Structure 1
């Protein structure tokens, strides 16, 4: 059967595969469109298997928000060039949107990896690089969600907020988290073992503290822990717009209940 340019174009629109791959698939299927699609998917799976051991440290972190649901997903690929293509970005956005309709309220990485396995394999065949869905979180039931993407999704932030807020402060909260990388929201969120370890480090770092009376040592270490909180707690860090104040002082009735800050390829 003669393979026409129209047939090749139709297959390309259906699959996103390259023109030559489409022509080869149609030729092998003797013009049968459904069989050609199946062949391309098998080809994609074969390519994915061959590429599975190749390093992936580029990609995107993107989000989706719809009412009281929000999601964030990190998808990795091999090169920055591929990460910036419309095909890759559209795929990651689709994964984030799909997640909004999945069950769960927290880490759903394994479920997303399984649900999108076939779609990811297809895109490996189209884009030509190894790719992986590294991690995914979905939230629901929050009062308000806001997100921010730096450098096109190289660093992304998702925040759940309740209480008094407006678009400007929500945007600034995202900017602050992206820039200052807080580990906790408030001092109450810092585990007791982390605080004790910081006290231990502070005491060992200054030999002069060794012979201090217990009461005086406790007071000194408490001051060092307050400084530690100002370094790692979102509401106590010097504010992104004015380092003379903090979010706790600036907006005491605006409560951040959850946040995620992810950077492509960072150590977990």
Structure 2
């Protein structure tokens, strides 16, 4: 086996844009031959994939899968809406979701782990389709109750919720729709960080300058309760009846966690 130097690895990296470890493996496989290593990387699709890695990928899809009390939602990005709609892109996403449900054991954020696990398969897809792609976000939840998800087309939103208590499938579906439509920042008031509540109280009090001190506290409390009805899932006007709320519709239900993502947001 040829003795591969660091300078050879760096040279191959500069010529192909491929990571150091893959460059070294290619040189070892080709007994140190630089041109052979370049051809090797091209044949495996790595060089082509790495060259595309700097291109902006803000389009894409969400894939979600729920089996029993285990659920996952994954954001898969590409460069164009055209590719996002192709069968090959969707099939890859579906396969990733199956792998997450069946082979992972995590209960939480798996974004980094999934990207690392699937990097070779993703490079093959990049080489086949010809666009930069990446697995941006993913969670895998194991619920003590039930998991529901909703994928919105048009403007692509992905929602998943984890609930415990009394909740049939129809209510679970409505909660997912509500989260999509009303974009709650928190589930219940207790979830709101204390510093954010303090800032809201400060703002509310400043608007009451000149009023008697004994009135200000009650008015501020009223304003904070009104604000909770805007930002907290359980207190927002309910999607199926604006005159009520989820906490009133389902008092024996607890929403444990939720995600609401939009494809490519904040990129």
TM over 0.5: yes
Residues 21-62 of structure 1 show CA distances to partners (whole Å, capped at 9, x for unaligned) of xxxxxxxxxxxxxxxxx9687442111111111111100111
Indicate the residue corresponding to 1:7 in structure 2. none
Q: Which secondary structure does the structure 2 equivalent of 1:244 belong to?
A: strand
Following the alignment from structure 1 to structure 2, what is the Cα–Cα distance between the partners of residues 86 and 113?
A: 21
* Gaps in structure 2 of 5+ consecutive residues: 1-38
Aligned alpha-carbon RMSD (Å)? 1.9
TM-score by length of 2: 0.80
Q: Deviations over 1:70-92 (max 9, x none)?
A: 11111110000000111111111
In structure 1, the partner of 2:121 is 119
Q: 1:246 to 1:141 in 2, by over 3 A?
A: closer
Matches within 5 A, 1:1-268: 42-100=43-101, 101-151=103-153, 154-204=156-206, 206=207, 209-267=208-266
* C-alpha displacement of 1:152: 7.1
TM superposition shift of 1:267? 2.0
SS at 1:70 equivalent: strand
Secondary structure of the 2:147 match is strand
- 8 Å contact kept, 2:58–2:264: yes
Gaps of 5+ in 1: 1-37
Contact (CA 8 Å) 2:45, 2:127: kept in 1 or not?
A: yes
Q: Give the direction of change, closer, same or farther, for the CA distance of 1:48–1:245 in structure 2 (3 Å limit).
A: same
Q: Distance in 2 between matches of 1:153 and 1:95?
A: 22
CA deviation after TM superposition for structure 1 residue 160, in Å: 0.8
Comparing 153-162 and 127-136, the one that deviates more: 153-162
Indicate the larger mover: 54-63 or 41-50.
41-50
CA displacement at 1:263 relative to structure 2? 0.9
Q: Is the 8 A contact 2:150 2:159 kept in 1?
A: yes
- Are the aligned partners of 1:71 and 1:97 in contact in 2 as well (CA < 8 Å)? no
SS state of the match for residue 73, structure 1?
Answer: strand
Q: State the distance in 2 between where 1:214 and 1:44 align.
A: 71
Supply the distance in 1 between the matched residues of 2:64 and 2:140 (Cα, whole angstroms): 10
Deviation at 1:186, TM superposition (A): 0.9
Offset at residue 95 of structure 1 (A) = 1.5
The TM-score with structure 1 as length reference comes to: 0.80
CA distance in 2, matches of 1:223, 1:172: 28
SS at match of 1:125: helix
Q: Is the 8 A contact 2:59 2:81 kept in 1?
A: yes
How many residues align? The count is 228
Distance 1:160 1:68 in 2: 9
C-alpha distance in 2 between matches for 1:99 and 1:42 = 28
Superposed displacement of residue 254, structure 1: 2.0
- What SS does structure 1 have at the residue aligned with 2:237? coil
CA distance in 2, matches of 1:193, 1:124: 44
